[in-house]
Amino acid sequence: MRGASGRSRNSPTRDEDTMPRSHSNNASVRRFIAAPRVVAPALVLALALGAAPLAVSAEQAAASGSPAAPARAEYRIGFGDELSIFVFGEEREHEVVVRPDGRITLPLVGDIDAEGMPPTLLAKSIAKKLEPFQKEPVVTVAVRGIRSYRLFMLGRVGTQGMIESPTPLRLLQALAMAGGLNDFANKKILVMRESTEGPKRIGIDYDDIIKGKTPEQNIMLMSGDIVVAE
């Protein structure tokens, strides 16, 4: 039989008709919440690396075949360098220039050798000289201006003369600053160097460096070196 609304008594009402669908959706939500979350391994690794960067020691780098960063040599003071020296407890810094004889002069200390010494070693030497006047003196030495690194370029280069640089240069860098080799150069270079063992003469083949045969010939030049392009 049909009621007044024209719907069969056995037909579900609108609420009854939607109930199974709502119940099904709620069950899906519960299954989603209860389901274990799986994070991609790559994401876990990325988060771990971002949260805690890996520290690799020199030994580990050597074992893995990766070259460790080369240690930088400590700068050594040369004549003409401008130094700022601070003694803890004094009101002002002492601004000094290293003389051609390689020495500087300070109050209470007098003349003291500075050329060829790292700033940290010079600070210790000054502190030792001050011990009769202060208890455990603390000294800091800073290099304010580098005027001691000089090279001399001669022969068949673009511009002969002296080169000054705030940082040490390799051979090719020095040649570039001198305007490179001119058209008459035979690509043979001689580096003349003074050392504690006496004068040295270093022969270098420019073409072999450029062609990559002997890149080690692109040597680091020392202050006072004379570079002759033949």
pLDDT, one tens digit per residue, over 160-184 is: 999 988 888 999 999 999 999 999 9
In a domain, 116, yes or no: yes
CA–CA distance, 36 with 31 (Å, rounded to integer) = 10
Q: How confident is the model at residue 92 (pLDDT cuts 50, 70, 90)?
A: confident
Q: Are residues 176 and 202 in the same domain?
A: yes
In a domain, 31, yes or no: no
In a domain, 206, yes or no: yes
CA–CA distance, 8 with 10 (Å, rounded to integer) = 5
Given a cut of 70, whether residue 36 has pLDDT beyond it is no
Range of the domain at 132: 82-145
Last residue of a domain, one of 145, 173, 195: 145
In a domain, 170, yes or no: yes
Cα–Cα separations (whole angstroms), residue 195 to 57, 59, 81, 224: 35, 34, 20, 10
Q: Are residues 156 and 140 in the same domain?
A: no
Q: Are residues 193 and 211 in the same domain?
A: yes
**Average pLDDT value for residue range 196-205:** 90
In a domain, 70, yes or no: no
pLDDT per position as a tens digit, 93-145: 999 999 999 999 999 999 999 988 999 999 999 999 999 999 999 999 999 98
pTM for the model? 0.52
Last residue of a domain, one of 130, 145, 160: 145
